[in-house]
Amino acid sequence: MADEIEIDTDDLERRMKGAMESLRHEFSSLRTGRASASMIDPIMVDAYGSLTPINQVGTVNVPEPRMVTINVWDKAMVGKVEKAIRESGLGINPQLNGTIIMLPIPELNEERRKELTKVAAGYAESARVAIRNVRRDGMDQIKKAKGKGMSEDDQKFWETSVQELTDKMIAEVDKALETKQAEIMQV
């Protein structure tokens, strides 16, 4: 029976890749001087008593390279959407035109670029923490398996396997961060 104990590294890898996908999604929301509908994806609006993504309270469009518009469906929600955008930390000043909120994307200055690289670094650190949490879960599985009779050699093998997977994913996070920071700092 002790020989049949295995750790599901595929599940651990899937969960770590999920953290990477989340990071890529957060990076796509960081603006680099061009308008993109995904840049407002992380913004949540207090709509009808619960936090709701902006794209569920209005239609998001990118009519020109430096402008995002949101056509809010419920007139009562316009103020809440505007407030959520102002408080999001994107550094965009929304302009109202009836139920349409226009978000002109200003040219990035040096100070704002440095701020955005810090935000990107924060996103990357969150991804690293998520990956380390998955690693901890894997190590806990190994400890439980050892209690059920896993041999010392098998334990070392699985611990090494989980650690190598963790190191590989953390290196991917670091590479993605480096690429994003270079993209942000590019004038």
Q: What is the pLDDT of residue 4?
A: 57
Of how many residues is the chain composed? 187
pTM for this model (two decimals): 0.68
* 81 and 116 part of one domain: no
**Integer Rg of the chain from CA:** 22
Residues contacting 77, CB < 8 A, separation 6+: 45, 47, 57, 58
Q: What is the pLDDT of residue 126?
A: 92
* 179 and 126 part of one domain: yes
Q: What is the pLDDT of residue 115?
A: 83
* DSSP string covering 137-166: HHHHHHHHHHHTT--HHHHHHHHHHHHHHH
Residues contacting 92, CB < 8 A, separation 6+: 85, 103, 104, 105, 106
Flag whether pLDDT at 136 surpasses 60.
yes
Average pLDDT for 50-56? 88
* 100 and 123 part of one domain: no
What are the pLDDT digits (tens) for 6-32? 778 889 999 999 999 988 888 877 766
The token duo for 56 is 């569920």
74 within domain boundaries: yes
Q: What is the pLDDT of residue 6?
A: 74
* 78 and 123 part of one domain: no
Q: What is the pLDDT of residue 2?
A: 43
The CA–CA distances, whole Å, from 168 to 55, 161, 163, 174 equal: 34, 11, 9, 10
Rounded mean pLDDT of the chain? 86
